[in-house]
A = this chain, B = another copy of it.
Amino acid sequence: METRIERLCMANGLKMTGPRRAIARVLSEATGHPDVDELHRLAHRLDPRISLATVYRTVRLFEQHGILERRNLGSRRARYEMSGEHDHFHLIDQDSGKVIEFDEPETEQLMRRVAARHGFELVSLKIELFGRKARSEPARAEPERAGKIPAR
């Protein structure tokens, strides 16, 4: 079976080598936001000859071709995820460190307009919300007018 990333590599004219295939597979199957170490560990299971240097070179390459995106998500090391058709948000639980992903297409459009207002064409965006679980009920639609603003 061929992964989406592999197709993207072909489309970008990248040589499809064993290591790249393995790393592409690992990325495709990753649920969260792996860092380089995780990628290496996993790819290493598919082919123990794969070196850490190759993982670094590969993610850099993939990133340059827009196949991957690098994030930080509050952690020190860089973390990676496949680029989607459109951007999405990350909501990081400050207590657990867990990352929740979700779409918000309207906001993306809004950001596009904001950039345009400053004379820029939006290429990509990163929106990271840091928060903690609200003690009150989860809030159905768009409750709390403006609510108490947390201390920051």
B-binding residues in A (CB < 8 A): 66, 72, 83, 89, 91, 93-94, 100, 102, 104, 107, 109-134, 138-139, 141-144, 146-147, 150-152
Contacts and interface: CB of A to CB of B under 8 A. Distances in A.
Contacts of A113: 142, 144
Determine chain A's interface SS by DSSP, over half rule: mixed
Contacts of A89: 114
B107 A114 contact: yes
How many copies of this kind of chain does the complex include? 2
Contacts of A107: 107, 110, 114
Nearest to A144: B116
A139 B119 contact: yes
Contact of A146 (B109, B131, B147): B109
A122 B139 contact: no
A18 B116 CA distance: 45
24 contacts: A66-B151, A93-B120, A94-B123, A100-B118, A102-B118, A104-B114, A111-B129, A112-B147, A115-B131, A116-B139, A116-B142, A116-B147, A117-B142, A119-B133, A119-B138, A119-B139, A120-B131, A120-B134, A121-B133, A121-B150, A122-B150, A123-B130, A126-B128, A126-B130
